[in-house]
Structure 1
Amino acid sequence: MIEVRDLKVRYAGRTVADVPELDVGAGECVAIVGESGSGKSTTLLALLGLTEGAEVSGRVRVCGVDVLEAPPRELRRIRGARAALVLQSPQAALSPATRLGVLMRRALRLHGRDDGEPAMALAMEAVLLDPAILRRYPHEVSGGQAQRFAIALAIALGAEVILADEPTSALDVTVQAEVVGVLRRLRVERDLALLLVSHDLALVSTIADRVLVMKDGAVVESGPAARVLAEPAHPYTRELLEALP
């Protein structure tokens, strides 16, 4: 579902992300980990052609579409409808003046879905949210509810790939577990491809099949999560693990 080869993202001649290889299959979870500024989120945005002002090279295919060569119209067809981005702070990305239900119906309509109400009901059930929440404004829901709504929106649109950028960093531990549980279950039930960006290695260990470790824009280690987290080969990976409380 995601195939990356020799991806480089540069701003003003400076390379901020250099990813030689990244593949994510259906039903698989791959995590990109590293400290702030390591290039994790930039890599995620590059997969949907959202690195405005950057020079991007290499090969990036998402849901069979060549992201770096596709015209804007084709990219709009896959963004949201086939590959959805779940942001770190969904409440900041949602219109504060619009109820959640209106936001979801608008997104479904823009993507040409004519089964809006049934799709919304199934999506809310999938993320364990009461449909009554759709009558609320973003500021009237908790951070965990807003995050699950963002996931529900991706599910309602029929996304096959979810790109999650620090989806639990702003949440308390109990709510983190709920959101991770939803993502884990959905990728199995719906065969979703999940690319997770996080600095939380403890969280990553509970959900990821494979891990890429980034530092200063470069991938310094990659491999099966069990091996990378138990027997890290790179000194930086060992430093990250030793920093865990």
Structure 2
Amino acid sequence: MIEVRDLQVRYGTRVVARVPELDVGAGECVAIVGESGSGKSTTLLSLLGLTEGADVSGHVSVCGVEVLQASPQQLRRIRGARVALVLQSPQAALSPTTRLGTLMRRALELHGITGPRGGGPETGGPETGGSAGSRKERSWKGRASKGGLERVMVEAVEAVMLDPEILRRYPHEISGGQAQRFAIALAIALGAEVILADEPTSALDVTVQAEVVGVLHGLREERGLALLIVSHDLALVSTIADRVLVMKDGEVVESGPAADVLTRPSHPYTRELLEALP
């Protein structure tokens, strides 16, 4: 779902992120960890062509689209519909005067999901091709859409353990954890095959963190979603990631299976991060 080779993001003469290799398959979770300013979020944004003003080179393929060569129209077609970006503070992206249900409905209609239809291109993607995980997701989406747009929305919020009643609320009437789950629900409703999550739990208390992590873990298991998570929280990463990349000063200093990196780190910086855990 994601394939990166020799990615380099540069602002002027300064290289802010350099990633030799990064792969994320369907149903897999990869985490990028490191301190603030290490290049984690820049790497994430570069996968959707969102590093405005930067000189980006290398090979970046997301859902079969060559991002660095794609036109703005091609990038708009995959953003949200196939690849969803879940930010650290999703409430900041929600209009405070608009109910959540209206926000979700507008997003679905913007991507061509407008009523009771079967699967296929009209509900967000082709019926053939792609990974087993993406086919499974599109199949679920097609079944949901037969009940109409409202049914798509209800099933999406239920998939992230939210009461459908939340669709009648305004953003200021929900908690941070609910906002995070609503952002994930929107990705599900759109039929996203990949979720890019930037510090998805950093602003949440411990119990709510566990809820959000549980939702993400369930989605990758049940729907075959590919997850790429950016975090400085190694405790969180240890509960969900299959593989880990450790970044420092824009460079990948260590990478490998999560069990190896987090229990037998080879780089001094990784050991420092682990020793800083409470």
**Alpha-carbon distance, 1:82 to partner:** 0.3
**Alpha-carbon distance, 1:138 to partner:** 0.7
**Alpha-carbon distance, 1:121 to partner:** 1.2
Q: Which residue of 1 aligns with 2:137?
A: none
What residue identity is the alignment partner of 2:187?
A
Q: Which residue of 1 aligns with 2:273?
A: 240
2:187 to 136, 150, 154: 154
Q: Which residue of 2 aligns with 1:103?
A: 103
Quote the Cα distance in structure 1 between the aligned partners of 2:158 and 2:107.
18
Work out the percentage of aligned pairs sharing the same amino acid: 84
Q: Which residue of 2 aligns with 1:40?
A: 40
Q: Which residue of 2 aligns with 1:178?
A: 211
Quote the Cα distance in structure 1 between the aligned partners of 2:95 and 2:255.
38
**Alpha-carbon distance, 1:122 to partner:** 1.1
CA deviations on 1:183-216 (whole Å, 9 max, x unpaired) are: 0001110000000000000000000000000000
Quote the Cα distance in structure 1 between the aligned partners of 2:249 and 2:194.
26
**Alpha-carbon distance, 1:98 to partner:** 1.2
Which consecutive residues of structure 2, in runs of 5 or more, have no partner in the other structure? 115-144
Q: Equivalent residue of 1:214, what SS? A: strand
Quote the Cα distance in structure 2 between the aligned partners of 1:52 and 1:39.
15
Say yes or no: does 1:214 pair with 2:247.
yes
Quote the Cα distance in structure 1 between the aligned partners of 2:168 and 2:158.
16
What is the TM-score of this pair, normalised by structure 1?
Answer: 0.99
Aligned residues: 245
What residue identity is the alignment partner of 2:202?
S
Q: Which residue of 2 aligns with 1:226?
A: 259
Q: Which residue of 1 aligns with 2:88?
A: 88
Q: Which residue of 1 aligns with 2:135?
A: none
Quote the Cα distance in structure 1 between the aligned partners of 2:88 and 2:196.
11
Which consecutive residues of structure 1, in runs of 5 or more, have no partner in the other structure? none
Q: Which residue of 2 aligns with 1:71?
A: 71
What residue identity is the alignment partner of 1:121?
V
**Alpha-carbon distance, 1:12 to partner:** 1.9
What residue identity is the alignment partner of 2:257?
P
- Kindly report the root-mean-square deviation, in angstroms, between the aligned alpha carbons of the 2 structures: 0.6
**Alpha-carbon distance, 1:67 to partner:** 0.5
**Alpha-carbon distance, 1:96 to partner:** 1.3
Quote the Cα distance in structure 1 between the aligned partners of 2:183 and 2:67.
23
1:168 to 201, 213, 220: 201
**Alpha-carbon distance, 1:13 to partner:** 1.9
What residue identity is the alignment partner of 1:125?
E
**Alpha-carbon distance, 1:111 to partner:** 0.3
Quote the Cα distance in structure 2 between the aligned partners of 1:47 and 1:101.
28
What residue identity is the alignment partner of 1:192?
L
Q: Equivalent residue of 1:68, what SS? A: helix
Quote the Cα distance in structure 2 between the aligned partners of 1:85 and 1:223.
24
Quote the Cα distance in structure 2 between the aligned partners of 1:99 and 1:136.
5
**Alpha-carbon distance, 1:182 to partner:** 0.3
**Alpha-carbon distance, 1:95 to partner:** 1.3
Q: Which runs of 4+ in 1 moved over 6 A?
A: none
What residue identity is the alignment partner of 2:90?
P
Comparing 112-121 with 168-177, greater Cα deviation is found at: 112-121
Comparing 152-161 with 106-115, greater Cα deviation is found at: 106-115
Quote the Cα distance in structure 2 between the aligned partners of 1:163 and 1:93.
16
Comparing 128-137 with 164-173, greater Cα deviation is found at: 128-137
CA deviations on 1:131-179 (whole Å, 9 max, x unpaired) are: 1111111111000000000000000000000000000000000000000
